[in-house]
Structure 1
């Protein structure tokens, strides 16, 4: 689907256009093969880059010829922490966005919640880059909040909680990879494109925020790693305790079994003809148990 919009510095909101005009915004969502061919022919675009713009596994990059092609990783679903690919093309007569699924910030532009002046192409490009970072931070903060909740319950974690933490870790690893590639893209843009005035200030702010977001992502990964290590130690301690208890039970059962076995032999034994011998045997067993229990307590096994 291809749609055209335009907004000048004097306009209060975006205007929907019936066809292409100079200095307009071309928004392309989930394009068909015919629409891709049309864009290639109409605006002299690189077909390979367009196809890359709807490839979920595409690595972010930036290319320069007579137009600027910026392929970035974006968050397509903040709640479910899903990533997608987003292509931004800046030409002399237009700014074009190209994607398979609309991210949240595109909806904000269409609803005029975000100022997007199509005649100011550099500033509009920077606004999109800023919004990409914002969505990344929202998604990571959402994961971080859930991880902190699990951290508070670390001593009572269940198998499903650990599975969920592993899922969060996998998502954060994908976010970290996307961040590192996006940072490389922004560094290349900084070397190739000269920004002045408010554009320069905006770009510097974006670079600071993307690095802060990347650090937040790495901290969240470290947090999950700490919880996982703590859980492994907890499981190990529980297992050792169970083994200790079973060992104690084995010893406690073995003592009376050994004493009873001796009195079951066909040999002369003390008090074997005394009808009260059973009470002596029980007393001896109880003394052994008491001594064993005191030993375990002093050894801090119990």
Structure 2
């Protein structure tokens, strides 16, 4: 899908033609969209190759007088892991700003809701980076909330389901940490680029972007360390909970063995005490109950129940 936007009277509007100062967004492209991208930029084939690699690392390249920036942006989905990152391509040409992603991008959707001026391409790119950093922060907070919810369930659990959920959250944090670190290198390069630091407004915006990314990086590191320690701790808790259940079942089994043992003895075809008494059955039951009660008291005092 290829969309063309332009700021008209201070509002972002979708237009049909790619004129000067327009923003062209390509997501989930078909063959017609790729053909049009090739017509818009000469380095399209190389860019398409980059974007179809889900593990492509962030980079900055100049392709035939055009600046190509690739960053990794946060993404949310229904499958596990719920949070991950995807590559987003940004192409700066003299006439247009082009963004390219193989799927519908959360950052682009958030950018559309904000106030941007497509005529100021550098400023729009910086705002895109700012939206990306803030979305990282929002998703990191969501991951932290999920980990607390799972923690409450895990305290009473003896299953691996909650641990698997924590593992998926840890994978998401690994994706975020790696992507944020790579994106920070790109931000660092932009701070040394005269194109992005020519105007005071752009320099201030770039500084905000750098600060937000550093904050997101610190949060990702903290949450990752906490989650890693939490997984180790709760693996021990699950093992301890299982041991407590096994201890209880073992204690119950031993108590039940007492009357079973007495009944087995009195089932032997040999001379036994009280065998001629009319109260033999009652006496046997009383002895079994008494010994079982003594066993329960002993186990209770030793906290085996």
TM-score range (shorter-chain normalised) is 0.7 to 0.9
For 1:17 and 1:264, locate their aligned partners in 2 and report how far apart those are by CA, in whole Å: 95
- Contact kept? 1:78, 1:139, Cα under 8 Å: no
Where do 1:164-175 residues align within 5 Å?
A: 164-175=165-176
State the match for 1:207 in structure 2.
210
State the match for 2:72 in structure 1.
73
Question: Gaps (5+ residues) in structure 2?
Answer: none
State the match for 2:240 in structure 1.
237
State the match for 1:60 in structure 2.
58
Q: Secondary structure at the match of 2:205?
A: helix
State the match for 1:86 in structure 2.
88
Q: Secondary structure at the match of 2:175?
A: helix
State the match for 2:45 in structure 1.
47
Question: Normalized against structure 1, the TM-score is what?
Answer: 0.78
Q: In the TM superposition, what is the alpha-carbon distance from 1:71 to its structure 2 partner?
A: 0.8
- Distance 1:67-1:287 versus aligned 2 partners, 3 A rule: same
Establish whether residue 95 from structure 1 lines up as the match of residue 93 from structure 2.
no
Q: In the TM superposition, what is the alpha-carbon distance from 1:4 to its structure 2 partner?
A: 4.6
Q: Secondary structure at the match of 1:70?
A: strand
For 1:90 and 1:21, locate their aligned partners in 2 and report how far apart those are by CA, in whole Å: 14
Q: In the TM superposition, what is the alpha-carbon distance from 1:88 to its structure 2 partner?
A: 0.7
State the match for 1:288 in structure 2.
291
For 1:101 and 1:261, locate their aligned partners in 2 and report how far apart those are by CA, in whole Å: 72
For 1:245 and 1:292, locate their aligned partners in 2 and report how far apart those are by CA, in whole Å: 13
Q: In the TM superposition, what is the alpha-carbon distance from 1:130 to its structure 2 partner?
A: 0.5
Q: Give aligned pairs, total.
A: 298
- Distance 1:75-1:261 versus aligned 2 partners, 3 A rule: closer
State the match for 1:137 in structure 2.
137
Q: Secondary structure at the match of 2:71?
A: strand
State the match for 1:177 in structure 2.
178
Cα deviations across residues 41-62 of structure 1 (Å, max 9, x unaligned)?
Answer: 5543252123323543322222
- Distance 1:53-1:275 versus aligned 2 partners, 3 A rule: same
Q: In the TM superposition, what is the alpha-carbon distance from 1:73 to its structure 2 partner?
A: 1.7
Q: Secondary structure at the match of 1:56?
A: coil
Where do 1:117-196 residues align within 5 Å?
A: 117-157=117-157, 161-193=162-194, 195=197
Aligned-residue RMSD, C-alpha: 3.5
Establish whether residue 25 from structure 1 lines up as the match of residue 27 from structure 2.
no
For 2:116 and 2:86, locate their aligned partners in 1 and report how far apart those are by CA, in whole Å: 22
Task: Identify the range of structure 1 (57-66 vs 160-169) with the bigger mean alpha-carbon deviation.
Answer: 160-169
Q: In the TM superposition, what is the alpha-carbon distance from 1:145 to its structure 2 partner?
A: 2.6
- Distance 1:282-1:53 versus aligned 2 partners, 3 A rule: same
- Contact kept? 2:38, 2:44, Cα under 8 Å: yes
Question: Normalized against structure 2, the TM-score is what?
Answer: 0.77
Among candidates 3, 10, 13, match of residue 12 of structure 1: 10
Cα deviations across residues 137-160 of structure 1 (Å, max 9, x unaligned)?
Answer: 233333333332333343345765
- Contact kept? 2:7, 2:116, Cα under 8 Å: yes
- Contact kept? 1:69, 1:87, Cα under 8 Å: yes
For 1:291 and 1:15, locate their aligned partners in 2 and report how far apart those are by CA, in whole Å: 84
Q: In the TM superposition, what is the alpha-carbon distance from 1:19 to its structure 2 partner?
A: 4.4
- Contact kept? 2:111, 2:131, Cα under 8 Å: no
